[in-house]
Amino acid sequence: MNMLKTTALMALLMALLIAVGGLVGGQHGALIMFVVAVGMNFFSYWFSDSIVLKMSGAHEVSAEDAPSLYKLVADLAGRAGLPMPKVYIIDTDVPNAFATGRNPSHAAVAVTTGIMEALEYEELAGVLGHELTHVKNRDILISSIAATFAGAISMLANMAQWAAIFGFGRSNDDEDNGGGIIGLLVAVIVAPLAATVIQLAISRSREYAADKGGGKICGDPLALVSALEKIDYYAHHRTMPQASQATEHMYIINPLAGKDISFASLFSTHPATADRIARLKEQAAHMA
């Protein structure tokens, strides 16, 4: 089922990239984006995890580099029946974490230095349990592919914005001019929004499932509740420079939450933290 969802996602993002290419560069632009999209589908399947980790400024650590973190990941992975993922650290004081990779055998979890300082051991276990559930449910490939394509779409939209500013594409009588200035404006406004909606559809239901799985793996849903409260607070009061619109859906809490306005929050890639906490408290009550 997840393979079907991944295939549908790749086709949808490919169509969106081609459409934006057509708006910016007409038939030639669409053709170029078709070739680019085919290459990206292949490339993102094999290398999207590396791209996302590099975009986030993460560096791999070993058991010697971060013994406590590495042992905690190993213990939780064993509890979840998963192979040991690679472990990465992002140097920022803003607490957050994400998982990536194409399957459980080729997975990685990344945490910030801030999350290791801000959370208690049990809380960090809850967060890592959440991320390992993403690995177990094979959400990570879909999220990584979405991040790769969203980055490309945003880059193309930025190109369209500069083209509109400097007056390119104003003529509508040449097929290579795309949609003219209107097409450029549509590309600038609609393309990033469409990419966000796709990320939203991918992320929200998976976050609830990962919270539930994280509560089971760590054995204490209330520890994850406490972790979410802390991470959410920091996300609304500090900026995480390593995060971007292309990768925001991958983190346990949207790292750009502090930049949201009330309207933009309708398109948040994550469910409301209060709703997630309420579900975890129900889970804790049932486990008790």
Q: Rounded distance, CA 10 to CA 145, Å?
A: 8
Q: Can you point out the beta strands (E) in 231-277?
A: none
Q: Say what the pLDDT of residue 131 is.
A: 97
Q: What is the arithmetic mean of pLDDT over 19-26?
A: 68
Catalytic residue among 64, 117, 123, 131: 131
The verdict on whether 60 is a catalytic residue reads no
Q: Rounded distance, CA 161 to CA 158, Å?
A: 5
Q: Specify the amino acid at residue 149.
A: F
Q: Say what the pLDDT of residue 261 is.
A: 45
90-117 per-residue burial string, b: 16 or more CB within 10 A, e: under 16: bebebbbbbbbbbebebbbbbbbebbbe
Tokens of 211: 């919270």
Q: What is the pLDDT of residues 275-284, one digit of tens each?
A: 999 999 999 9
Would the pLDDT of 3 be above 70?
A: no
Nearest to 52 by CA among 99, 104, 7: 99
Q: Which of 1-5, 16-20, 79-83, 236-240 has the highest mean pLDDT?
A: 79-83
Lowest mean pLDDT among 50-54, 65-69, 114-118, 189-193: 189-193
Would the pLDDT of 173 be above 60?
A: no
Number of structural domains (the chain) is 1
Q: What is the arithmetic mean of pLDDT over 152-175?
A: 58
User: 56, 90 in Cβ contact below 8 A?
Assistant: yes
Domain limits for position 187 = 2-287
Q: Rounded distance, CA 70 to CA 153, Å?
A: 35
State if pTM tops 0.85: no
